[in-house]
């Protein structure tokens, strides 16, 4: 079955879908995006994603192209047309099409909207979680506004490629003060030997992940001790456990960092429990 995309008001075969070559998302990465998990055909935590989308648009002074309720209808329709039961739906909004000029278009233009969806085999994610993943660290080299979910992801692309070339799954950024910020496409967490779950505050240096936010609520409900503070790679290596979170992978245990085994070198009980329990605390629509 051919995949179907939504592009600026039309549902099209992916082979025919396209955007204008002067779209500012293409020429300047002048846009934002969201990725929402699809589970049993339903969107997971969509309202949180749309709230964050609205904030990103506001920070970049891009107009919301339509009511959030209309965007929600499109997301569901793209998932339905692609018959996705387990996977992701991707939404991108750019400033729109205008003559190439670094400044904003002199006359208002309509933002461009693209939505795609694809299936992800849940068995593959479960297998990765069962054996755990490898992480490397790289120097932080992104712009300061990583709190905006911008499509300007070249540093993230290079970090992810560095991880792959090192035989790892993810790369964690380390800032100038020696603290872990986040992964190239995930939030970073550790579990101390005292059983306390730790992640960096979302006040600076990271994107406020939707999965991260749900997990913080889950930790409270499960009465697991939690602390928001920076941590170093050395502390992570010395921790009992480590893991990453993202909409496309939920909770993924980390078993090595820069070649050093974490804890027993196998996925730990806290990460495994959080992965198993996560969707109890999610909103489905």
245 and 131 within one domain: yes
Is 266 labeled as catalytic in the residue annotation? no
265 and 170 within one domain: yes
**CA–CA dist 248, 36 (Å, integer):** 8
Domain that holds residue 259: 125-281
The pTM of this model reads: 0.95
Compute the C-alpha angle 279/159/133, nearest 5°. Answer: 45
**CA–CA dist 16, 5 (Å, integer):** 9
155 and 114 within one domain: no
258 and 131 within one domain: yes
Residue 216 pLDDT: 97
Residue 217 pLDDT: 97
Residue 203 pLDDT: 86
Q: Which of 120, 153, 176 is the last residue of a domain?
A: 120
CATH classification of the domain holding 183:
3.20.10.10
Structural element, H or E, at residue 182: strand 180-183
93 and 133 within one domain: no
182 and 76 within one domain: no
171 and 138 within one domain: yes
Given a contact cutoff of 8 angstroms between Cβ atoms, the answer to whether 24 and 30 are in contact is yes
Catalytic residue among 42, 149, 160, 193: 149
> What's the total number of domains in the chain?
2
138 and 163 within one domain: yes
230 and 138 within one domain: yes
Q: Which of 85, 120, 155 is the last residue of a domain?
A: 120
264 and 135 within one domain: yes
E strand residue ranges, 156-283: 170-174, 180-183, 187-191, 197-199, 226-228, 241-246, 250-257, 260-261
Q: Which of 69, 97, 120 is the last residue of a domain?
A: 120
Residue 69 pLDDT: 97
139 and 156 within one domain: yes
> Which structure tokens are listed for 57?
């648009």
DSSP reduced 3-state for 83: coil
Q: What is the mean pLDDT of each run of 10 residues along the chain (285 residues)?
A: 92 96 97 98 98 98 97 98 97 98 95 97 96 98 97 98 98 98 98 97 93 97 97 98 96 98 97 97 97
Query: What are 261's strand-pairing partners?
Result: 256
Residue 1 pLDDT: 65
> Which structure tokens are listed for 28?
């300047």
184 and 107 within one domain: no
């Amino acid at each position: 079955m051919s995949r179907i995309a939504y592009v600026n008001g039309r549902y099209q075969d992916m082979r025919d879908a396209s955007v204008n070559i002067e779209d500012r998302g293409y020429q300047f990465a002048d846009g934002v995006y969201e990725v929402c998990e699809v589970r049993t055909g339903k969107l997971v935590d969509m309202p949180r994603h749309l709230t964050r989308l609205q904030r990103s648009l506001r920070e970049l002074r891009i107009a919301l192209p339509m009511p959030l309720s209309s965007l929600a209808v499109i997301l569901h329709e793209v998932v339905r047309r692609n018959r996705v039961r387990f996977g992701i739906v991707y939404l991108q909004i750019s400033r729109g099409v205008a003559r190439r000029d670094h400044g904003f278009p002199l006359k208002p233009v309509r933002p461009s909207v693209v939505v795609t969806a694809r299936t992800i085999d849940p068995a593959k994610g479960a297998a990765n979680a069962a054996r755990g993943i490898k992480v490397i660290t790289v120097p932080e080299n992104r712009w300061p506004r990583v709190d905006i979910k911008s499509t300007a992801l070249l540093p993230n692309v290079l970090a992810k490629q560095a991880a792959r070339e090192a035989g790892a799954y993810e790369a964690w950024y380390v800032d100038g003060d020696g603290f872990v910020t986040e992964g190239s496409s995930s939030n970073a967490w550790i579990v101390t030997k005292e059983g306390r779950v730790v992640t960096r505050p979302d006040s600076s240096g990271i994107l406020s992940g939707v999965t991260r936010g749900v997990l913080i609520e889950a930790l409270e409900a499960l009465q697991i001790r939690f602390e928001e503070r920076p941590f170093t790679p050395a502390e992570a290596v010395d921790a009992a456990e480590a893991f990453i979170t993202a909409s496309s992978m939920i909770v993924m245990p980390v078993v090595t960092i820069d070649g050093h085994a974490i804890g027993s070198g196998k996925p730990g009980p806290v990460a495994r429990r959080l992965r198993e329990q996560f969707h109890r605390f999610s909103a489905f629509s």
